[in-house]
Amino acid sequence: MHQADGPLGDFARKYCKAAKTMPTGKRLRLKYLKEAFDKDMEKIRDDMRDVKVSVIVDESPDITGVPTINTLLCYYSQKNVKKHVVLVDVDRVNASNSYTVASAVSKALQTVGKTWKDVVAVATDSAEYMRKMIREICQAEGIQILHVKDIAHLIHLDFLKQQEALREPQGTTATIFYHPMGKKNNFLTLTHDAVVAQLSTVPGAKSVRVNFRGNLVAVDSIPGADITALLAVERIGEGKVRAKTASKGTSTGFLHRVDPSFDVEDIRNNIESTKPVLTCTCNDRNVVLQFEGNTPPAEVSLFKQMRSVRHRRRRPLQCLTCGDPDRAECTEPAPKCIHCGGPHLAKEPHCPRWQHERRVIETMASSNTPLSRREAMMRVKTNDGNGTSNRAPTRPASPAVQPGLSYSAVLTPPAAPPPIPCVNDTQKDRPGTSTDGTVQDVGCDEADSPPPPPLSPSPPSCTPGPNVPPPPQGPPAKIPRQDRVRAQLDGFLGNLKSTEESREKWRKECQSMKEERLMTEKWQHKELLSVVRQLTTAVTKLLPQGANMDGEEL
C-alpha cells in the first residue's frame, strides 16, 4: 500500500494498461482494507457468538519503538468443530501498565461482542502489571479467571532442563570436605588458584570450592564416579589434610556443660530425641550430636532431664582492630583494642584483658574439679586482690603539678622579708608605716596572730626602747615585687576558697530541697490513695446488692 503512490505505482501505470485504474495507497488503506477487515470480523463474531473465549495478550514494541499491545482470542468453533486463534486488535499505547492493558483487552472484547464474563482464561507473561490487571478485573467484575503465565517460556525451560538431564551422567553426586590437620595449620598460606589447580586434576572431581574463612575446601564429584581418589588426598600444598564425605540430610547440635566422667556410650544410650541420633562424640564438657534431618531438635532428654540443643553457627566476621562487624580489614588510621581500649591490636598478648582471660582459662584447665567460667573469674579476682582492670592503664599525673600557683610564681618562689623589731607589743605583729602612710612589711614572730586593724590616716607611733635607735627618717621603702605577687596570690586563693565554700553550701541546699520535694510527693501520693479508697468504698455502698462495678449501674 505504501508503494502504490511511489515508484512502483508509477512504473505499473506506465507499462501496464490495467494498472492505470489502480487506486492510491490511501484509498486502499481506508476503503478496501477496512472493508476486508470488517468482513472477516463479522465472520469471527458470528462464529464465536455463544462460546467462551480465552485471551492471549502480550506487549512488545513495534519497529518504531512504540509500545504495542497485541490481543488474540482463542475459542472452539461449534460449526466446524475446530479450535481457532485469531488476532483481533493491535493497539499502540504511550506506556504499558495495568490500566492501558486492561483498556486494550476490553476494547478487543467489545469488537467481537464479548465481555469479561465470557472469558475463562488469560495467558500473559510474568510482569507484575499483568498480574495486577487480572486481580483488579476479578475484583471489579466479581468473577474468577484462570491466569496462565509464561506458557511458552515454561515449555522452553522444561525442554532445556530435560535436555540437560539427558546429557548428565546418571548416578549420585558426593561432596568431599578437606580440613587441615593440627590447630596451627590452615589454608591461608596458599592461594585460591593453587588449591583449585591441585584438586582439579584428581580423578572424579567436578568442581572445587575454597572457603578460607571457614578453613575448609569442598570438592563436588562427577555423578556416578568413583570417589576413592578424592578420599585418598592427604596433602594440599605442604599441609596435611583430612578428607571426609559430607552427609546429606543431617544436622549437628551441641550439648554444653556435660559431666566429662560419663562414657560416650552411656550418653548415647540415655539420650531421647524426637529425631534419630546418628552419631555422638564428646569434646571435654561438650557433646556433639548428629541428627537426621536438616535442622536439629530444640531439646533432647539426657538421663531423663531436658537439655537445650545449641545449633552450629559460624563465627561472625568481625575486625580485630576496631570491632566493626562484617569486615576483616580495618580502615581506622590507628589500632584500638576492642577489649581494653588501648592503642594496640585486640590479639596482642600484652593486652590487660587478654592476660585476664588467659588466667581464667588456665584456672579452669588446672582445676581438679570442674569449674564454670564464672567461678574461675571469681577465683582469679580473689588471687589478684583488687582484680585485673579491663581497661588500658592510664598515665599518672606528673608530681610537678601544683594546683593554685601561677606560672611566674612557680619560676620565682617568694623570699621571706627581713623582720623589724618593735617594742610595743600591740604593734609587734602589725605592719609598719612610714611617715607619709606607706605600708612597710614588718616581720612577725607568731603565725596565728589576729589580723591587724585597718590603718588610720595618721602614722602609728612606735616607742623605741632605750637601747634601740629610732627608725631613720628618709624616703618610704618600696614593697618588693615578690611580696606584691604573694599578696595577689593570697587574695586569689582566699576568693577561690570562699567560692568553693559557697558552691558546697549551694549543693547541700539543693540536696535538701530535693529530699523535701520527694517527701512532699510521697505524702501527696499517700493522700491521693486514701481519697481513692474512700471514694471506692462510698460507691460500693451505693450500688445495689450483687451489682457489678463494671456494669451499667456504675
Residue 337 lies in a domain: no
pLDDT of amino acid 454? 47
Cα within 13 Å of Cα(304), Cβ side: 0
pLDDT of amino acid 517? 79
Please give the span between the terminal C-alpha atoms of the chain, in angstroms, as a whole number: 91
Decide if pLDDT at 462 tops 50. no
- Domain containing 235 equals 175-245
Q: What dihedral do alpha carbons 529, 530, 533, 538 form, nearest 10°?
A: -140
**179 & 267 share domain:** no
Arithmetic mean of pLDDT, 508-525: 79
pLDDT of amino acid 372? 84
25/135 Cα distance (integer angstroms): 43
Decide if pLDDT at 523 tops 80. no
Lowest model confidence (mean pLDDT) among 91-100, 110-119, 379-388: 379-388
Q: Residue 328: which pLDDT band, with cuts at 50, 70 and 90?
A: low
**Percent with pLDDT over 70 in the chain:** 71
DSSP string, 129-184: HHHHHHHHHHHHHT---EEEE-HHHHHHHHHHHHHHHHHSPSS---EEEEEESSTT
Amino acid present at 139: Q
Contacts 24+ apart (CB under 8 A), 427-436: 427/460, 427/462, 430/460, 432/462, 433/459, 433/460, 434/459, 434/476, 434/477, 435/459, 435/473, 435/476, 436/476
154, 187, 217 - which closes a domain: 154
pLDDT of amino acid 397? 45
pLDDT of amino acid 553? 47
Nearest Cα residue to 45 out of 109, 122, 100, 105: 109
203/224 Cα distance (integer angstroms): 12
Rounded alpha-carbon distances, angstroms, from residue 305 to 272, 312, 470: 10, 22, 107
179/312 Cα distance (integer angstroms): 17
Nearest Cα residue to 56 out of 26, 88, 93: 88
pTM of structure: 0.30
Arithmetic mean of pLDDT, 360-373: 83
Arithmetic mean of pLDDT, 219-229: 84
Lowest model confidence (mean pLDDT) among 161-165, 279-283, 343-347, 516-520: 161-165
**149 & 115 share domain:** yes
230, 245, 260 - which closes a domain: 245
Length of the chain: 554
The most confident of the ranges 43-52, 438-447, 519-528 is: 43-52
**213 & 275 share domain:** no
Decide if pLDDT at 317 tops 80. no
The CATH number of the domain holding residue 203 is 3.30.70.100
**261 & 207 share domain:** no
Q: Residue 542: which pLDDT band, with cuts at 50, 70 and 90?
A: confident
Residue 343 lies in a domain: no
Percentages helix, strand, coil for the chain (3-state, rounded to 5) are 35, 20, 45
Residue 550 lies in a domain: no
Number of neighbouring beta carbons within 10 Å of residue 43:
10
Does residue 320 contact residue 300 with C-beta atoms inside 8 Å? no
pLDDT of amino acid 357? 87
**149 & 54 share domain:** yes
Residue 373 lies in a domain: yes
The SS3 of residue 437 is coil
**476 or 551, greater pLDDT:** 476
Residue 138 lies in a domain: yes
Q: What are phi and psi of 508, to 5 degrees?
A: -65, -40
**235 & 279 share domain:** no
pLDDT of amino acid 423? 43
Residue 128 lies in a domain: yes
**223 & 188 share domain:** yes
Mean of pLDDT over the chain:
75
Domain count, the chain: 4
Decide if pLDDT at 158 tops 80. no
**145 & 55 share domain:** yes
282/351 Cα distance (integer angstroms): 33
The enclosing H or E element of 62 equals none
Joined together, the cell numbers standing for residue 223 give 555423578
Residue 528 lies in a domain: no
Joined together, the cell numbers standing for residue 211 give 572457603
229, 245, 261 - which closes a domain: 245
**226 & 261 share domain:** no
Nearest Cα residue to 432 out of 445, 419, 424, 441: 441
Arithmetic mean of pLDDT, 72-91: 85
pLDDT of amino acid 275? 86
Nearest Cα residue to 142 out of 162, 116, 103: 116
Amino acid present at 519: M
Residue 329 lies in a domain: no
Q: Residue 546: which pLDDT band, with cuts at 50, 70 and 90?
A: low
**208 & 237 share domain:** yes
**208 & 118 share domain:** no
Burial 429-463 (b: 16+ CB within 10 A, else e): bbebbeeeeeeebbeeeeeeeeeeeeeeeeeeebe
Q: Residue 528: which pLDDT band, with cuts at 50, 70 and 90?
A: confident
